[in-house]
Structure 1
Amino acid sequence: MSASILLSMAGGLGLFLFGMRVMSDSIEKVAGAKLRRILEIFTTNRFSGMIVGVVFTGIIQSSSACTAMVVSFVNAGLMNLYQAAGVIFGANIGTTVTSQLVSFNLSAYAPVILLVGVLVAMFCKKDKIKKFADIIIGFGVLFLGLSTMSTSMAGMREVPEVVNLMGSLKTPLVATLMGLVLTTIIQSSSVTVSIVLLLANQDLLSLRISLYIILGCNIGACTTALLASMAGKKDAKRAALIHFWFNVIGTALLYVILFFLEEPVMRMIWAVSSDKGRFVANAHTIIKIFQVIVLFPFSNAIVRLSCLCVPGEDKKVNYRESYQLKYIGDKVVFNPATAVVEVIKELDRMASLASENLTRAMNALVTLDEEDIEEVYEVEKNINFLNHAITDYLVKINQTTLPIEDLKSIGALFHVVNDIERIGDHAENVADAARQRRETGVTMSKEALRELGELLEMVTRLIRYSIDMFARSDESHMKDVIALEDQVDAREKEMQKNHVQRLTRGECSPEAGMMFSDIASGLERVADHATNIAFAVITAEDE
């Protein structure tokens, strides 16, 4: 009898965990890119960051996922610690939405919810609608698991071993440790609180002990973010510690309050609860809101505390010279929701290297400085490394569960990395010309060098416009990019005519003339590649 009950309980827990995972992953696929943009835009101050954290976590049903994403943002330099603190505080309130939903006891509707989800998945062909169907299916499986667990727990009241085990949880410290350990294992405080809610509903756990298990859940919920930050930069570790200290300090304060005012606190929670399940859900929510109200004014102090725990700065790396990725890599725990953002940051850096290298090569063409020429070749090797590394990473993330909008942009990102690499190749071609001038003594007229410098200025401006547009997914300056690209084309044609006239007048040698023509044509092709990058914004949205 007891074995079948335990198996049923385990099966129900499995369904619950699976349903929550499907629902959370599907929500992240459907809305992950939009939610991420909200995180980027509306976290300029701590209060707005806190509101975003509440909404974000309430939607994706996981404070661990939200906090892990924040850690990834901090690691990629997209968010500072003070912004992260606000989001983390809000995430702790948002995570209580799950227990509130569970307390409404919608298990009876689980078959209907599942049927609706399956029908939508079967008869709708659009991927986005199918993802919405996955959300509904996950929701239904979650409540089916709850129903199975609830039925099993009703039978557990007849199993002496279970009753004795639950009865052994008499002291607050043991209950808190139980909550901490369970949440660390399950990696979800929402799941642990939901189990506690069901146990309390079946009178297998007292309300007092349930309260202390919830306190342990708060600390156990920190493990996901701590693990995600272990291989990250120091600021990523500090962000995870902000989450940790928020919950540890909050739990310690509540322990002190409960030591003196346990009965009044329990009566207050019971006054707003209609049954024992609602008591657990409301206790979870009230605890989190209390922690935020008390600790929010001291968020800067908690940030400083996390900095004291992780002192010093990251080792300075000259990313221009070293063959290393700055924003992406296998060492940091992979987060699908931020993967594309990290790639775009890396592409922005790669484009800056290529643009700077083009300018360096053009300077070398004028000065004939051997050190500049050699540096162009060295930086080009780094650009080639970035090309291969970013391409490999794009192949890797294309095989994962990315948000739908991010998945659409992968093809455009492949084209962008190729266009940037081609810009780097043109810089190398100019360096080859500079070396040829240095070794053979080919002279170019001041007028020719001046015209090339003017064309270079237009081209580098176009590169920056295009990269900024792509990084922000902003089409508003597309007309400016097209107009500037047309100007480059017109200027290049005019320069070729001027060049022919100089040859006719004998102002340039044939060797210098060929060199000038090749470089001018190369700069025009660089402008084409830059324009391709700008058009990738539209391509990503249309795919």
Structure 2
Amino acid sequence: MTTNADVLPVEPSLPATRQWLSWMLVVALIYLLLAGVGAIGDGFKAATGNNARELFAFATNPLVGLMIGLVATALIQSSSTVTSIIVGMVAGGLPIPIAIPLIMGANIGTSLTSTIVSLGHIRSGEEFRRAFSAATVHDAFNITAVAILLPLELLFQPLQRLSESLAGLLVSDASVDMKSVNFMKTLLSPASDLLAGSVSWLPGAVWSGVALILIGVAMILFVVTAIGKVLRKVVVGRAKDIMHASVGRGPLSGIASGSVITVLVQSSSTTTALIVPLAGSGVFSLKQVYPFTLGTNIGTCVTALLAATAITGPTAEVAMQIALVHLLFNLLGILIIYALPLLRGVPPMIAEGLATLAQRSKLYVAAYIAGVFFALPLLLIGASQI
């Protein structure tokens, strides 16, 4: 009989005497994350001047923006990284209407991880069917949410309008104008000055800006990877306890536990990787896993919100706005799809259908992963340039 320990290998928790050092490292990594986001914003401003819209003219087609966000996240395997980069780009001048489809695409791209994790069960027919359906219900929900909310956004701009109002409340005019007493600006100033100085030898503002963007992206990639590893060592036992205590206790409990665990480990990919093996072994059913994966969508928004606090000055409000778009997109998706009985069963139905095909032939698995996450998006991007 397969035990939980067999299907869920985890890193051992750190001794209590070393946990405080790990938390200090987390604080340092968060500082690096904020500095990296700030570097992208500064670099984007320097490289583009006031021409950010022209630079991304190819992405004014919302479908192209959606595909770019999807492929970027599928390649990097971290929506937190991609959304943090988008926050920095918006602070550097990327228009909100162009950034919104990018954010939606990132939501789809991040669900590839759980699908890949399910392949660990591929040699056992029924077990693989359960694991693959638990993994692809995340994909199906995110794709359904985009199919509903992207057209609504293009017609009525609910995400843009609501996020703009909320950002206006969270980022006061006083905090923008009183630069001399801005806490985040003061805190990040040494890092900003150091990074700016490191590229000052390059000829021209454009090359200095490009270098800052690359440094910022590299910092975010490093931080998101490192902070996930550190937090898993510190809280993985606690995360497992939360999951076992709450996943099977109704949809609200499942959504809450998915959110909390994702915030704790700072990675929706890690959270879904925890639940898929348990679903494959039969510990949790698809009905129980479904709301849990919705919670991971909410929890992963914390990184972008945190990244937005790194932006100061006149662009602070738009940076916070795009981070709020990410959160509102996921909340509205849950309210529209999961709260309505007519739509609630659509993602599980799609997932079950895909799992049945996958169990029948592994070629369907390869076609699904390659087609949805890479071939189709790249084809659409290429076709738009003709």
Q: TM tier, shorter chain?
A: 0.3 to 0.5
TM-score, length basis structure 2: 0.46
Instruction: Please tell me whether Structure 1 or Structure 2 has the larger radius of gyration of its CA atoms.
Output: 1
